[in-house]
Amino acid sequence: MSLIEFIILAIALSFEALVVMHGCALKNKITLTKGLAESAIVALVNALLLAAGIWIGSMLKFTPAGIDPDASQTGSLLADTDGLVYLGLLLLVAVRLLFRSGKKSRQVQPYDISRYGTALLLGVAIGINTLIVGIGVGFRPVMSNLWAAAVPLFVVMTLFAFLGVMLGRKGKEIRARRYTLFAVLFLLAFALKGAFWG
């Protein structure tokens, strides 16, 4: 997988952090430095969950490490099964995001993000989708370096979450449904590219 693919994945997974951190900063006054620290905590938890998910997925995949999928019919079938699991898990997350955005009142529950423990738990809550996507990505042949996926997610999610904090502090309203649809489009682009074009 290329760095561009991981950046697209990071953008898709970061929209939710933007929306949640915006809602929190809108209801609770927070300084910019504290907001940046809280954004970094949320992003770090998600980066670790993505790396853990990729590792778990690579342990669970059907194609053993030493088998060339093109060498035998069995290897090809196992590789196809891995691809279906990958696509299914990413589509599951996309459907979850669409289902939540389709609810009538898409109001984000504001949490008091002035405490680091709350930001840590918020990172875990946001990171459930990240973990599922990571497991799906683990079923694909990826680089052996897990941090090639985790570092772009950490950087992009920190920026998106901090943008949400800044917009919330200024009292700017955002349309959560629009950002969720952007996330779904980026996630579907990533899933389809990986499933059909390697």
Question: What is the tens place of the pLDDT at every residue in 89-142?
Answer: 888 888 888 887 666 555 556 677 778 888 899 899 989 999 999 998 888 766
**Per-residue pLDDT at 192:** 77
With cut-offs at 50, 70 and 90, classify the pLDDT of residue 49: very high
- Token readout for 69 is 């999928």
* Residue 56 CB partners (closer than 8 Å, separation 6+): 134, 135, 138
* pLDDT > 80? residue 38: yes
Cα torsion at 104, 153, 31, 117 (round to 10°)?
80
CB of 126 within 8 A of CB of 173?
no
pTM, full prediction: 0.83
Question: Quick one: pLDDT at residue 82?
Answer: 74
Provide the pLDDT for residue 130.
93
